[in-house]
Structure 1
Amino acid sequence: MKMTILLMAIIVLSTSYLVYSFYLSFTGQPIQPQVTGLAIGVLLTSSYFVTTGRLPFWTEPEEEDV
């Protein structure tokens, strides 16, 4: 349960930063592209974990069909 709450907080924070980055780009102010890319990666990874209940495939050995 604590892990899900932590991941949901990460999703909210990264989404908030992405919205803020879009606002900055629309107003013509400079943004931090590295941080924006990191926020996108964190958002996608944590969303994947919350929806599937497991980490992405590169952290677990793949199951082979026999």
Structure 2
Amino acid sequence: MGLDALVPLAMTVAIFLLLVDLMHRRQRWAARYPPGPLPLPGLGNLLHVDFKNTPYCFDQ
């Protein structure tokens, strides 16, 4: 295995380890907050917005 093959392999392993670390940190950070409303794919939380009283809804 020459140096030409080790560089992409090392970069792939480094990126993989960074992604695993990021996912682990994000999971610990998200655990501090209570669960929010369930977002729907494509719409997000748009169905939870009260459009008759929008400023109050966004202040909550």
**Short-chain TM bin:** 0.3 to 0.5
TM-score normalised by L of structure 2? 0.45
Larger RCO: Structure 1 or Structure 2 (Cα < 8 Å, ≥ 6 residues apart)?
1
Structure (1/2) with the larger helix percentage: 1
